[in-house]
């Protein structure tokens, strides 16, 4: 039973990714034509440029199907909900506590214990 559930989840994820590629192709086809869109989507899938496919799918949902921007981004990149808070807090922490800038103009030679 557990193996069947695993196979169903894997199939659902494949279908979701395939649907995202189709959406990206529809969005690109409205810009550059169907043949170029198919070639570009295959190119992005072959090079595993998932961010480009997500962006194109969100564009298609927003521009062609008139979804709100937040819903289109959420449908195209659902993991963004989990990643975005960490990115924001990391950026704020770097802004509050920047890395030190070393201002030594020339490197100082190391001293041996005999010289001290």
> How confident is the prediction along the chain (116 residues), in pLDDT tens digits per residue?
889 999 999 999 999 999 999 999 999 999 999 999 999 999 999 999 999 999 999 999 999 999 999 999 999 999 888 999 999 999 999 999 888 777 656 666 777 777 65
pTM of the full structure: 0.69
Q: How many domains are there within the chain?
A: 1
DSSP state, 33?
-
Domain membership flag for residue 116: no
Element containing residue 70 per DSSP (H, E): helix 69-76
- Residues spanned by the domain of 56: 2-95
Residue 53 lies in a domain: yes
Cβ–Cβ under 8 Å, residues 97 and 103: no
Inside any domain, residue 103: no
104 three-state secondary structure: coil
DSSP secondary structure code for residue 99 in this structure: P
| 25 three-class SS | helix
């Amino acid at each position: 039973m557990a193996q069947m559930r695993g196979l169903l989840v894997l199939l659902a994820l494949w279908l979701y990714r395939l649907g995202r590629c189709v959406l990206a192709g529809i969005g690109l086809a409205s810009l550059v034509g169907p043949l170029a869109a198919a070639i570009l989507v295959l190119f992005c899938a072959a090079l595993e440029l998932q961010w480009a496919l997500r962006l194109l799918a969100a564009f298609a949902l927003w521009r062609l199907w008139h979804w709100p921007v937040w819903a289109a981004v959420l449908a195209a990149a659902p993991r963004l909900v989990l990643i975005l808070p960490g990115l924001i807090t990391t950026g704020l922490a770097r802004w509050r506590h920047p890395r030190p800038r070393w201002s030594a103009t020339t490197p100082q030679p190391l001293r041996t214990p005999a010289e001290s």
